[in-house]
Every structure is written in structure tokens, then in C-alpha cells.
Amino acid sequence: MTADSTVAVAPAPVERVARRGGRYEFLDALRGLAAFAVVIQHVSERLFPAYFRFSQAYFGLGEFGVFVFFLVSGFIIPASMERGRSLGQFWVGRFFRLYPLFWACLTAAMLLYSVNQFGLRASYLEHSVRNFLANLTMVQFFLGGENILIIGASWSLAYELVFYLFLSLLLIAGLNRKSVPLAVLAVALIIPGAFLPVAMVTGAGANAGTRTAVVVLTIVVAMVFATLASNRRMALTAIGLAFLTVPLVLNQPGASAMTFGYFATMFVGTVLYRITSGEIAAWRGWAVFGFAIGLIFFVSTFLQPTLDPITGVWITWVKQPLTIIPAYLFFAAFLFLRRYSFPQPLLYLGRISYSLYLVHALVLDFPRWHSSVLGVPPQWLTLLTLVTAALVIAAVTYRVIEQPCHNYGHRVIKRMEARKRAEPAPVTTG
């Protein structure tokens, strides 16, 4: 297998799942509800102080939505990778699926900032050009943390992108279908991961020792995956991917336990996909699912209380299990309903979920209502206005930017496939 050759694995036959337009309905329903949860969280926390305090202390609706997204990605991305296309074609598809809209939203954010309708952190403005370029990579959260984010919600996209890098390495090594041991390992690493220093490359605490550790681990990972590659070209690809992936992960700026928890969640999603494809016994997959939930609860009990500087509430250990475990159970419930159809409006919300996830950040600083109308308080009027604006703009950006770019990506992939078929077969002698 080469970077531009067909992946030498047959796609697994997925059991009957309700589809519409080639898309799994239950996943679109989950995407739509997850994106809407994030929107409601970000709008409500700006309008209702009591809700903000509750969401910081007990149940974060936005974080709940992000964990649902991570499970969805873990479920569907391996299926996308294993369709029989090349690794290069997968990344072409991902590029046109994610980057054009993301770059458009970054540009819109800067334009809104210029007319005082969008807020940027002071830490971003200290090195605005450098930080803008970092944001263009979509892994900006691993380069400078939340202090350099233009669109706050984009931190999760960095984790998704690094997860794709992980899967690419596993595919090259032929380990991509070892989902159960990989998920168990990823979940188990949450415990030692909690003791890992943050931002080992560029952080305030980074030093020669941490950077040396990053270099050594990167070389080891590169050598291992290069050795497992099927030929020289894929070995070189593996080395390049390792030199991207390992430093990014070890430069994560947040709580290390959460970082490993995010990746573990995506690998758990992959295990659930293997159940539906018939590649593993259901009991094994659900055992991994239960193991993840149990360990998340166990690790959470050791979290020390922290004082939230914005709301002034103490964030105790109870918030993480009360937020993350319901996200797991919510995904599981929809997985059990995968053979059923869902309402068209919910499916449409799922189709525009990526647009909604990004563009809602652009409306958060729009003007608010200051007086009641027909007895409706101004906070509720503002909530309705901002959510409606986000939905409308998302529908437009999906139609004008996201969908056309996605379709163009498919055309590029088809041209790549046509060129590959037109190449003469290698001559063998013997």
C-alpha cells in the first residue's frame, strides 16, 4: 500500500441501518442534537447567570454535545477510511469537508471584529498575525491553547484532526481493525495520562527535558510504524505522520486526563462501529463501553475542586461523570434505534451541524434585546433571536460553502481514482 494506492482492506459489511441519501440517519440525528446542545450552551451562559453557574458545577450541555460528536467521529471515520480508497483520497475528502468552511468562518470573525461585533482575547491580539496563521491549521489548540483561538468551539476540531492522524498511522501499520485492544489501551491511558505535563513543547513549563522526551518518543513511534508499513513509501508516510502526531498530542495545553479521555471516547466510538459491522461480538464491544464509563467515573472521583474564575462556583468531581456518562448513554440509545428513520427536520439539522457548530460563534456578540415584547423577557427574546440567526446562517453556509466544497472534493477524488486506474500495471519478472 502506498500513500496514493488503494487501501488493502475490504470494507466491512455494516448491518442494516436506516439511511437517507447515503447517510446514517441515527448519526445525523445525533449530530444535529449535539450541535444544537453546543449552541444552546453558549448562548444561554451569556444570558442566564444561574444557568451558567449550574452548567459549570453540575452538567455542561455544550461539553455533553462535544462528547457525542467525538463518539460519532469515532464511529464513522474508520468506516470512511476503510471504503477501499487510498489514504491520500481520504485526506483530500477531509480537507474539502472541513477547511473551506472553517477558513470562511475565521475570515468572517475577523471582519466582524473590525466592526466591533466579535470579541477576541487579548492574548490572541498580542501576536495576531502568528495566531491567525496558527488558527488556519485547525490544530491551533495544540499550538497555543485556548488563548489563541478565534472561534472558541474550534478546540474540538483540533482533537478530531489528530484522531485522523492516529487512524492514518494505524491504517498504514495494518492495526486499524484492532479496535478493542486499542480502545482498552486508550481508556486505560487516562490514568497515567493524568500525570503527564501539559504543553511539553511550547508551554510555560516546557524545558530541555520535556522537549527531549517528545523527540525521543516521536522517533520511537516513527520507527515502530515505519517498520510495520508495507513498503518504503508508506514507511516514509508513517514517519511524517508520527512527527506530526506525537508532538501535537504531547503539546496539549489542557488537563492531560481530559485529553486522553477525548481520544479514548473516539476509540470507543470505533468499537461500537465494529459491533454494527459484525467484526466483533456485541458483548465485547459493550464490555469496552462499560469499562470506559466505569473508568471515567473512577478517575473523576480523584479530581480536585477548582474555583471557576468567571462564575465563582466550585467545580467538583461530580461534573465530569454527570456530563460525560449521559453523552455515552445518549449515543448508545440512538445506536439501538439505528434501524429506524428519524424526522426530516432533525436529519437536516444533522446535515448542517458542522456549519451550525462553527457559525453560531459568530452571532454571540450580536446586539441583544433590552426590553420585553408581549410579556416575553428580553433574555428569552435574545436567545430566540441568536439561535434563529445561527440556524439561518448555518443553512446558508451549508448551501453556499460547505456542500459545494464537499462535492468538489468528491470530484477530485474521482479524478484521482481515474488516474490510478489509467496507470499501467507494474511489470513482474520471474
Q: For Cα atoms 383, 387, 391, give the angle at the middle one, nearest 5 degrees.
A: 170
pLDDT of residue 6: 43
For 86, list phi and psi in degrees, rounded to 5.
-80, 165
Name every residue whose Cβ is closer than 8 Å to that of residue 83 and which is 6 or more positions away in sequence.
11
Helix (H) or strand (E) holding 413: helix 403-422
Find the farthest-apart pair of alpha carbons in the chain and give their distance in angstroms, rounded. Answer: 87
Size of the chain in residues: 430
pLDDT of residue 218: 96
Residue given cell 494505524 in the structure block: 170
Rounded to the nearest angstrom, the gap between the alpha carbon of residue 267 and the centroid of all alpha carbons in its chain is: 12
pLDDT of residue 34: 97
Residue given cell 444561574 in the structure block: 50
- Residue 346 burial (CB count, 10 A): 16
Distance CA 94, CA 161 (A): 9
Residue given cell 444561554 in the structure block: 44
Distance CA 323, CA 166 (A): 26
pLDDT of residue 187: 95
Burial (CB count within 10 angstroms: exposed 0-12, middle 13-18, buried 19+), residue 406:
middle
Give 186-218 pLDDT, tens digit per residue: 999 999 888 888 899 988 888 999 999 999 999
Distance CA 352, CA 36 (A): 11
Angle between helices 378-397 and 25-47 (to 10 degrees): 140
Please report, in angstroms and rounded to a whole number, the separation of the first and last CA atoms in the chain.
22
Cα separations in angstroms, 267 against 76, 157, 263, 327, 330: 11, 16, 6, 15, 17
Q: Which of the residues in the chain have pLDDT under 50?
A: 1-10, 429-430
Helix and strand numbers, DSSP H then E, in the chain? 19, 4
pLDDT of residue 127: 92
